[in-house]
């Protein structure tokens, strides 16, 4: 497949560019210990928090709730996870929860992410097309050195992926045609939604996103335009 | 005035960060020559194009027209400037006008801009709060090496400065309080509007923005929080 026409790469971020599970677990471990729980539950805590991500966005996608920032949904979900782990919400200062909620702003990139993005940026526009809100993406980029050209995604589009408007409004902001924009993700479902909107697609496996026992997205299961080992390999496939 | 609380600097761009007049005139000169006109009219052409900028946005601000990208307004204004310069619109291919319209995407930074922004970025969020649309700002940043953390401004806010929503929605996206965000501009009117919304303010004189005979914005005429010679001086005043 020719690479000549791709002018912008837009990226899923949680799982594709950064390792959300380790980052959230790291901060959850300290939190759990402060509240008399075992740091060993930190991975489970991260998984439980993430498990509430899609259902919370679904209430926005369905129109049950207006669009709101992912930070707000994360913060609500955190309170529910506390109950799940038997921690009394009333015993935890709100400021401490606000701070733990920022764990999502401090996630580390995968080892290849900064080099891969930097190479792709040399000849293309690169931007997140994440469900994370703009401030979350700014803080994360400053934390990890992600060299985005712009911060796009759900908050700018006012729609959560995989709603078509999330992709289509991003095309409108970029003033590019569908075939000039490539969605990059470690999640087949995200690519399927992008492809349905006419975008080009690139799959990157992230086999440790959910830890060692991961069972999903182990391989591409669609007709994606590119499949690469990681973001550096994707850059090489595009001759940068 | 303490600098401790400023977490983000947001910037006017046309005139403050980049030299729009020289950049537009450079491309207008080549265009005028191709159409049998004198390249000596290029500065006047740039000024005439820019003169239509505020009135075009005013029709959006007043509600007469819905929000639309500045690229669209620039393109409409360009057709009017052609008539003003006695060039028959019907004789010019649309693609050539589309290309000339992109002159605004290729403006050069002032000599201090990249260093000043880079220094400020080391400890603060930096983003344009320009009336230029996102794609215009992305292209300009890639052209001139402007190291923005994010592209904010009129298109993200869906409101043109100095409408209060342009500033207030930017605060909302940044999730910062008014006192944590500083508007930087070479235009006193922009700072007055930002200050009215509670933002902090920094004035940078750009005495050549309108050429050697400039009469406006030669000095600060409000009670701004900072006044700096240029963006490097502003960074120094903030100890970066």
Q: ipTM, 2 decimals?
A: 0.96
Domain that holds residue A188: 8-19+107-237
For position B1, what pLDDT does the model report? Answer: 52
pLDDT for residue A20 is more than 80: yes
User: Does B76 share its domain with B53?
Assistant: yes
- Residue B148 sits in a domain whose CATH number is 3.40.50.1000
pLDDT tens profile B109-157: 999 999 999 999 999 999 999 999 999 999 999 999 999 999 999 999 9
For position B4, what pLDDT does the model report? Answer: 62
B2 belongs to a structural domain: no
Q: Decide which of A61, A89, A106 is a domain's last residue.
A: A106
B113 belongs to a structural domain: yes
B192 belongs to a structural domain: yes
Section B185-193 average pLDDT: 98
**Mean pLDDT over each residue of chain A, to the nearest integer:** 97
Specify which residues B130 forms β-bridges with: B153
pLDDT for residue B200 is more than 70: yes
User: Does A123 share its domain with A113?
Assistant: yes
Contact A118, A232 (CB under 8 A): no
Give chain B's contact residues with A (Cβ, < 8 Å): 69, 71, 125, 133-135, 137-138, 141-142, 148-152, 155-156, 173-175
**Residue A47: how many CB atoms within 10 A of its CB?**
15
**Mean pLDDT over each residue of chain B, to the nearest integer:** 97
Q: And the tokens for B219?
A: 């000095």
A2 belongs to a structural domain: no
Section B95-103 average pLDDT: 98
What's the alpha-carbon Rg for chain B, to the nearest Å?
Answer: 18
For position A134, what pLDDT does the model report? Answer: 98
Pick the closest to residue B209 from B42, B22, B11 (CA basis): B22
C-alpha distance from B173 to closest chain A C-alpha (Å): 6
Contacts of B151 in chain A (CB under 8 A): 149-151
User: Does B27 share its domain with B95?
Assistant: yes
C-alpha distance from B171 to closest chain A C-alpha (Å): 10
pLDDT tens profile A150-172: 999 999 999 999 999 999 999 99
B3 belongs to a structural domain: no
User: Does B100 share its domain with B114?
Assistant: no
Residue B181 CA neighbour count, 13 Å, CB half: 26
pLDDT for residue A185 is more than 70: yes
Q: CA-to-CA distance for A151 and A132, rounded, in angstroms?
A: 10
Strands, E assignment, chain A: 8-11, 125-130, 152-153, 181-185, 200-203, 226-227
State what percent of residues in chain B have pLDDT above 90.
Answer: 98
pLDDT tens profile A121-151: 999 999 999 999 999 999 999 999 999 999 9
Pick the closest to residue B140 from B199, B74, B191 (CA basis): B74
Q: CA-to-CA distance for A113 and A171, rounded, in angstroms?
A: 23
Q: Is the dihedral of CA B106, B109, B111, B117 positive or negative?
A: negative
User: Does A29 share its domain with A55?
Assistant: yes
User: Does A46 share its domain with A143?
Assistant: no
User: Predicted confidence band at B11 (pLDDT cuts at 50, 70, 90)?
Assistant: very high
C-alpha distance from A239 to closest chain B C-alpha (Å): 19
pLDDT for residue B3 is more than 80: no
Q: CA-to-CA distance for A124 and B216, rounded, in angstroms?
A: 38
For position B39, what pLDDT does the model report? Answer: 93
How many beta-carbon pairs under 8 angstroms link A with B?
Answer: 53
Comparing CB atoms, the residue among B69, B135, B151 nearest residue A151 is B151
Render the burial of A89-98: b for 16+ CB within 10 Å, e for the rest: eeebeeeeee
Q: CA-to-CA distance for A145 and A159, rounded, in angstroms?
A: 26
Angle at B136 between CA B133 and CA B137, to 5 degrees: 85
What's the alpha-carbon Rg for chain A, to the nearest Å?
Answer: 18
Q: Decide which of A62, A82, A106 is a domain's last residue.
A: A106
């Amino acid at each position: 497949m020719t690479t000549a026409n791709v002018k912008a790469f837009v990226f899923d971020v949680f799982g594709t560019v950064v390792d959300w599970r380790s980052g959230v677990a790291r901060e959850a471990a300290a939190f759990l210990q402060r509240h008399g729980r075992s740091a060993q539950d930190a991975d489970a805590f991260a998984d439980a928090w993430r498990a509430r991500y899609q259902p919370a966005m679904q209430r926005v996608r369905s129109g049950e709730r207006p669009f709101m920032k992912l930070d707000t949904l994360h913060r609500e979900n955190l309170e529910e996870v506390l109950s799940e782990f038997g921690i009394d919400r009333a015993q935890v200062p709100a400021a401490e929860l606000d701070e733990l909620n920022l764990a999502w702003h401090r996630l580390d990139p995968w080892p290849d992410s900064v080099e891969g993005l930097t190479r792709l940026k040399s000849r293309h526009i690169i931007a997140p097309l994440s469900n994370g809100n703009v401030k979350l993406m700014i803080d994360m980029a400053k934390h990890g050195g992600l060299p985005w050209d712009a911060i796009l995604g759900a908050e700018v589009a006012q729609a959560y992926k995989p709603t078509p408007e999330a992709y289509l409004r991003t095309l409108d902001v970029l003033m590019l045609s569908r075939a000039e924009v490539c969605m990059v993700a470690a999640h087949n479902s995200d690519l399927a939604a992008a492809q349905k909107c006419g975008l080009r697609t690139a799959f990157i496996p992230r086999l440790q996103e959910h830890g060692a026992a991961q069972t999903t997205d182990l391989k591409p299961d669609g007709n994606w335009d590119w499949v690469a080992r990681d973001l550096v390999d994707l850059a090489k496939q595009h001759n940068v």
